[in-house]
Structure 1
Amino acid sequence: MIFSRDGADVWVPGGGAANAALQRVTHLCIGAHQDDVEIMAHSAICACLDDSANLAFGGVVVTDGAGSSRRGPYADKTDDEMKVIRAEEQREAARRGRYAIQIQLAHPSAAVKDAAAPAVVADLAAVLAGCSPREVLLHNPADKHDTHVAVLLRSLTALRQLPVSERPTRVLGVEVWRGLDWMLDSDKVALDTSARPELRAQLLEVFDSQIFGGKRYDLATEGRRAANATFHDSHASDEVSGINWAMDLTPVVHSDTVDLADYTLAYIDRLRADVAARIARLR
């Protein structure tokens, strides 16, 4: 596979040809940064490990890892050095999670946020053309990180280039830089992160440059998952130890006319109506 950026990296942890590995992928996660895949996709990673004869996980990281927070042993590293470090951390996560394939497209964030971004869309379209995933995990449109939303938008453009019959069965937007616990319970998609607790820790701790760089994503991710599970239902005992909340984006992908902003704001409108109704009922 040849992508538009010289720094793009394609790695098959188990060995073998990249094209063949990509063809096997049934669960694909497209994240903006190194570690986003591991924050969003634990449920899919475990599903593929539990049925490795039939399922395979693929990770895609769109940006190059520059501009991250850094201190301690990373305080004096240049952006170019951090790119190398973060790319290797992502490879190690893919090895630990036994991904079928890990692709890093190495685009600068500024390029991804370009509304046209033809090279980004072309690279994502090339990935999607090489596999037929039944499930795709993306960032969610209510995320507050500009690069995350930009990656989502570029991913949707690439997905909509596929014939409708070849688009994934399920597409979900998962929480990262804004939780989705505010959504109505009836609107939420629960991704159970209870499985393989030792792997959950291993996949997050591998990103040493971020943890020691001043961002405890490992603790924050585990805390959010546990909080989601506990605060999900006030009258029932916890049935799982962790949940990632997701928004169903399948209708957006399966139609070329559904507007993403309108679709997302409808979730907020339903929340607003629910809050107003509860206050009126109990006033």
Structure 2
Amino acid sequence: MKFTNSTADLFIPDGSEIGAALSRTTHLCIGAHQDDTEIMAYHGIAECFGQPDRWFTNVTVTNGAGSPRSGIYGHYTDQEMQGVRRVEQRKAAIVGDYSAQIQLDYSSSAVKDAKQTGVQEDLLAILQAAQPTIVYLHNLADKHDTHVAVALRAISALRRLDPNARPTKVYGCEVWRDLDWVIDSEKQALPVSTYPNLAAALVGIFDSQVSGGKRYDLAIAGRRLANATFLASHETDEETSVTYAMDLTPLVSDPGLSISDFVTGHLDRLIQEIKGRISKFS
């Protein structure tokens, strides 16, 4: 399989042929940076881990050049940091038993340029080969520009798939903005309590980020625990760890839907819920 960038990296942890590795994929994540997937799509990783009929494939779109760094990584150039992060992502694919790990090696600026078609074409080729049942994307209310841009390119690619080849579920997941604010009837609460050792290991692999100045290992565990605890006020906890997601499936099923209206509609319904509760007790 050829991609737009000759520097793209394709890694199959168990050594299978690329066609076989992609065609067996049932769960697929498209993330912006190295470690995004392990933060936002652990639900898919855990569902596939050790299951002969389920396979997780990860697509990392950017090269991760602009990440913050300190400690032993403080003097690393962007080029050196790209190399470190690429290796870390491969390590995560081994530990998580991924079917395939693809790193497309785009700059963030290229991804954010809607006129450049390379990202969308690469993603379309991957999706056509894999035809996953479940896809994980960044949520469209994320506050990281590159995350939103990657999600938009992915949705464009998904919309171009033959309707029969589209996934049955597309989740927009949490990284740089959580989704606690989505009203409960629309919130997708994805249980991620299984294999807590695996969940911790996958985030911990990215030492360039954790030791380099961002304690994602602690923050993600805390967010998932908080989600599980505060999900329902009048019920005991059913899970010890939960990831929230926004259901983006309608945007793929109906390419005519306005993406901005779809997302802001969630905000409108939150406002109405808040107003209704205040009015009820006033």
Tell me the TM-score normalized by structure 2.
Answer: 0.98
Aligned to 2:221: 222
Q: In percent, how many aligned pairs have the same letter?
A: 51
Aligned to 1:3: 3
- Give the Cα–Cα distance (whole angstroms) in 2 for the partners of residues 7 and 84 of structure 1: 11
Aligned AA (2:184): D
- Give the Cα–Cα distance (whole angstroms) in 1 for the partners of residues 266 and 56 of structure 2: 29
Cα drift, residue 54 of structure 1: 1.0
Over residues 213-255 of structure 1, what are the superposed CA-to-partner deviations in whole Å (9 max), with x where a residue is unaligned? 1111111111100000011111111110011100101110011
Aligned AA (1:12): I
Aligned to 1:203: 202
Over residues 23-81 of structure 1, what are the superposed CA-to-partner deviations in whole Å (9 max), with x where a residue is unaligned? 1100000000000110111111111114x221100000000010100010001101010
- Give the Cα–Cα distance (whole angstroms) in 2 for the partners of residues 117 and 2 of structure 1: 17
Conserved 8 A contact 1:117-1:154: no
Over residues 245-270 of structure 1, what are the superposed CA-to-partner deviations in whole Å (9 max), with x where a residue is unaligned? 00101110011101111111111000
- Give the Cα–Cα distance (whole angstroms) in 2 for the partners of residues 148 and 101 of structure 1: 21
Match status 1:123 vs 2:122: yes
Cα drift, residue 6 of structure 1: 2.3
Aligned AA (1:2): K
- Give the Cα–Cα distance (whole angstroms) in 1 for the partners of residues 162 and 125 of structure 2: 14
Match status 1:34 vs 2:34: yes
Match status 1:54 vs 2:53: yes
Aligned to 1:133: 132
Conserved 8 A contact 2:128-2:165: no
- Give the Cα–Cα distance (whole angstroms) in 2 for the partners of residues 27 and 124 of structure 1: 15
Q: Which SS does the other structure have where 2:65 is aligned?
A: coil
Conserved 8 A contact 1:174-1:246: yes
User: Structure 2 matches for 1:1-283, cutoff 5 A?
Assistant: 1-50=1-50, 52-283=51-282
- Give the Cα–Cα distance (whole angstroms) in 2 for the partners of residues 72 and 230 of structure 1: 34
Over residues 86-107 of structure 1, what are the superposed CA-to-partner deviations in whole Å (9 max), with x where a residue is unaligned? 0000000010000000000000
Please identify, of 16-25 and 31-40, the stretch whose mean Cα deviation from structure 2 is larger.
16-25
Conserved 8 A contact 1:228-1:244: yes
Cα drift, residue 132 of structure 1: 1.1
- Give the Cα–Cα distance (whole angstroms) in 2 for the partners of residues 79 and 100 of structure 1: 29
- Give the Cα–Cα distance (whole angstroms) in 2 for the partners of residues 222 and 183 of structure 1: 20
- Give the Cα–Cα distance (whole angstroms) in 2 for the partners of residues 277 and 214 of structure 1: 42
Cα drift, residue 116 of structure 1: 2.1
Conserved 8 A contact 2:62-2:103: yes
Q: Which SS does the other structure have where 1:157 is aligned?
A: helix
- Give the Cα–Cα distance (whole angstroms) in 1 for the partners of residues 226 and 53 of structure 2: 32
Structure 1 stretches of 4+ moved >4 Å: none
CA RMSD of aligned residues (A): 0.8
